[in-house]
């Protein structure tokens, strides 16, 4: 036990949780805590808008697998975080959010910069605390980290009134935590595991759908083992991209609204579907037609996801890495399987369209991403924004033990640069590339300053088509081509913007210059901005 202020105790809690860095934006109501950060070894990365503190923490957490921390002040600061909280919640990203609050005796009186942040964020958090009793500090932090980082991971918010931060307490961080109403399951039910094994062995046309849960649950490698042992083809959701190396012969691409033919063929023809940490959102499951013969084995940490989108014959609730371990153990004595005929059928459905040549002065984005692949080192991290750029990247990027990050569930524009900043902080030695559109870039542009100020060498690729491309395409296809409020006329010269920040940059308008641009981008060890001129009316699916 040691006597200290709550603010100091908060930094001690963070240290105990192994937090060495956080992302934030200060204000008066959180100043007591900032004053303790100042005295601590914890590094504070100053973003330029609170939402980006949230996205940066998200990128960081997705790389480390552990809860990352972001901080904001009361009222507008906290409210600015909400989109990032919701974005993290949708993609099951572990995060602890700390917000300042007005003094506890003023709560509920509409005082300056008061916002009910626990109430406003309620639909988007796994849990939240209003820390109004100073003596609860240690317990609340311990619980918050435990809840955020276990089970189906997600954001947990701690709102701390300014007077509470200044209060003195006897502090000791608990070693263990026990919440009687929260006991995430870990092992899969033995009976269901046996049933799953039987179904997998009986299957003539088995198929694995790899979801984002393989990353949050650390199961990608075991999934590959399972796939290889039983010769099971794998397709991926947007969030699961990279769980299977994209160059594996057993990999048949991404499923979903913007997915590829082979993946659609696979899902429509398989007889046994193994869902691994995939919740099958509406954008993913639309091409799945459920027939009575299809056997669905659904493995997920969250029981509420099982049976929500697709009825499951074999439901298994558990930690994906533990469940995959259980399955592999059962398969120990089984001979490796062969599904040559099934794979042949799928191989025939693979379509690889060469990128078409485009008008002079422009670069085909599909060609560009494929060219970029040639230079990307192993373990690179690609962060795609939202829009056409997201699917040009998702469909063409080669992931060699690297990662692909994007805002899948919420589709939040402006995610890529701040998330890339977070990812780069977590993996300073990896090449981290943010790919965005000119629309999304203008939402996150101020974060270039964060890169410069903190020496974070993120590479930014702006796919400039002078339109909110994906919405433009939607209007073209479904609203009689009445293009409205989608032109980005009036936008700045992006290379000049980079210049203004002192960031190296280049505009590329031909394949020739693009090759040079890619080389410069990869060889730079500083932040770099590459503006790629893509044809204005180019489609998502190329």
Per CB under 6 A, residues contacting ligand TPP are 385-389, 411-413, 436-440, 463, 465, 467-471
Dist. CA 31–CA 74, nearest whole Å: 11
Candidates 123, 190, 455, 502; binder of another protein (CB under 8 A) is: 123
Contact 420, 448 (CB under 8 A): no
The strand pair at 21-24 and 155-161 is best described as unpaired
The strand pair at 381-384 and 432-437 is best described as parallel
Contact 68, 405 (CB under 8 A): no
User: Angle at the Cα of 236 (from 416 to 255), degrees rounded to 5?
Assistant: 90
DSSP-derived 3-state class of residue 144: helix
Binding-site partner at residue 304 among ligand TPP, another protein, none, CB < 5 to 8 Å by type: another protein
Determine whether 134 is exposed, middle or buried from the number of CB atoms within 10 Å of its CB (0-12, 13-18, 19+): buried
> With binding defined as CB under 8 A, does residue 108 bind another protein?
no
Q: Does residue 481 come out as left (phi exceeding 0), alpha (psi in the -120 to 50 range) or beta?
A: left
Please identify, using beta-carbon distances, which residue of 95 and 488 lies nearer to ligand TPP.
488
Of residues 139 through 178, those in contact with another protein by CB under 8 A are 147, 152
> With binding defined as CB under 8 A, does residue 118 bind another protein?
yes
Min separation Cβ 156 and another protein, Å: 9
Binding-site partner at residue 413 among ligand TPP, another protein, none, CB < 5 to 8 Å by type: ligand TPP
Q: How many residues bind another protein (CB under 8 A)?
A: 18
Q: How many Cα atoms are found within 13 Å in the side-chain-facing hemisphere of 185?
A: 14
> With binding defined as CB under 8 A, does residue 303 bind another protein?
yes
Of residues 175 through 194, those in contact with another protein by CB under 8 A are 179-182
Please identify, using beta-carbon distances, which residue of 300 and 444 lies nearer to ligand TPP.
444
List, edge to edge, every strand of the sheet that includes 127-130. 43-46, 21-24, 68-72, 95-101, 155-161, 127-130
Candidates 81-89, 115-123, 247-255, 420-428: pick the segment binding another protein (CB under 8 A).
115-123
Q: How many Cα atoms are found within 13 Å in the side-chain-facing hemisphere of 522?
A: 16
Candidates 126-134, 369-377, 439-447, 471-479: pick the segment binding another protein (CB under 8 A).
126-134
> With binding defined as CB under 8 A, does residue 133 bind another protein?
no
Please identify, using beta-carbon distances, which residue of 118 and 389 lies nearer to another protein.
118
Q: Where are the alpha helices (DSSP H) in 383-468?
A: 388-396, 416-426, 438-444, 447-454
Binding-site partner at residue 471 among another protein, ligand TPP, none, CB < 5 to 8 Å by type: ligand TPP
Min separation Cβ 183 and ligand TPP, Å: 36
Candidates 261, 271, 302, 509; binder of another protein (CB under 8 A) is: 302
Please identify, using beta-carbon distances, which residue of 64 and 185 lies nearer to another protein.
185
């Amino acid at each position: 036990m040691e006597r200290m202020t709550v603010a100091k105790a908060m930094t001690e809690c963070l240290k105990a949780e192994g937090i060495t860095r956080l992302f934030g934006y200060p204000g008066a109501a959180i100043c007591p805590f900032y004053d303790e950060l100042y005295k601590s070894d914890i590094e504070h990365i100053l973003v330029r808008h609170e939402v980006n503190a949230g996205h940066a923490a998200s990128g960081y957490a997705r790389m480390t697998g552990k809860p990352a921390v972001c901080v904001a002040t009361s009222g507008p600061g906290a409210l600015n975080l909400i989109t990032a909280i919701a974005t993290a919640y949708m993609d099951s990203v572990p995060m602890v959010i700390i917000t300042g609050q007005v003094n506890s005796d003023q709560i509920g009186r509409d005082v300056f910069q008061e916002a009910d942040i626990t109430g406003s964020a309620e639909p988007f958090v796994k849990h939240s605390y209003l820390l109004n009793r100073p003596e609860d500090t240690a317990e609340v932090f311990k619980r918050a980290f435990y809840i955020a980082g276990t089970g189906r991971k997600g954001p947990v918010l701690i709102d701390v009134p300014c007077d509470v931060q200044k209060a003195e307490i006897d502090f000791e961080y608990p070693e263990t935590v026990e919440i009687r109403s929260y006991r995430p399951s870990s092992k899969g039910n033995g009976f269901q595991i046996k049933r799953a094994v039987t179904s997998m062995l009986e299957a003539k046309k088995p198929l694995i759908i790899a979801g984002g849960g393989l990353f949050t649950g650390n199961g990608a490698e075991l999934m590959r083992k399972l796939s290889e042992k039983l010769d099971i083809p794998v397709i991926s959701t947007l969030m699961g991209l990279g769980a299977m190396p994209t160059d594996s012969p057993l990999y048949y691409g991404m499923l979903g609204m913007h997915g590829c033919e082979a993946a659609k063929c696979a899902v429509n023809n398989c007889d046994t579907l193994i869902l691994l940490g995939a919740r099958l959102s509406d954008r993913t499951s639309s091409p799945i037609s459920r027939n009575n013969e299809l056997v669905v084995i659904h493995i997920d940490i969250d029981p509420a996801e099982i049976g929500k989108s697709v009825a499951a014959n074999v439901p298994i609730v558990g930690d994906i890495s533990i469940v995959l371990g259980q399955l592999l153990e059962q398969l120990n004595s089984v001979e490796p399987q062969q599904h040559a005929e099934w794979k042949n059928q799928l191989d025939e459905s693979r379509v690889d369209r060469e990128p078409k040549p485009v008008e002079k002065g422009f670069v085909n984005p599909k060609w560009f991403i494929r060219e970029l692949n040639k230079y990307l080192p192993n373990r690179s991290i690609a962060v795609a924004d939202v829009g056409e750029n997201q699917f040009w990247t998702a469909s063409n990027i080669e992931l060699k033990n690297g990662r692909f990050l994007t805002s899948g569930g919420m589709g939040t524009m402006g995610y890529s640069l701040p998330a890339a900043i977070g990812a780069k902080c977590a993996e300073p030695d990896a090449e981290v590339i943010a790919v965005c559109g000119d629309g999304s870039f203008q939402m996150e542009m101020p974060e270039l300053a964060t890169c410069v100020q903190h020496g974070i060498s993120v590479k930014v690729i702006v796919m400039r088509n002078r339109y909110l491309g994906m919405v433009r395409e939607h209007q073209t296809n479904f609203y009689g081509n009445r293009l409205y409020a989608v032109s980005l006329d009036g936008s700045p010269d992006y290379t000049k913007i980079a210049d203004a920040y002192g960031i190296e940059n280049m505009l590329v308008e031909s394949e020739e210059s693009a090759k040079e641009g890619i080389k410069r981008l990869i060889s730079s060890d500083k932040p770099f901005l590459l503006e790629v001129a893509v044809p204005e009316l180019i489609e998502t699916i190329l």
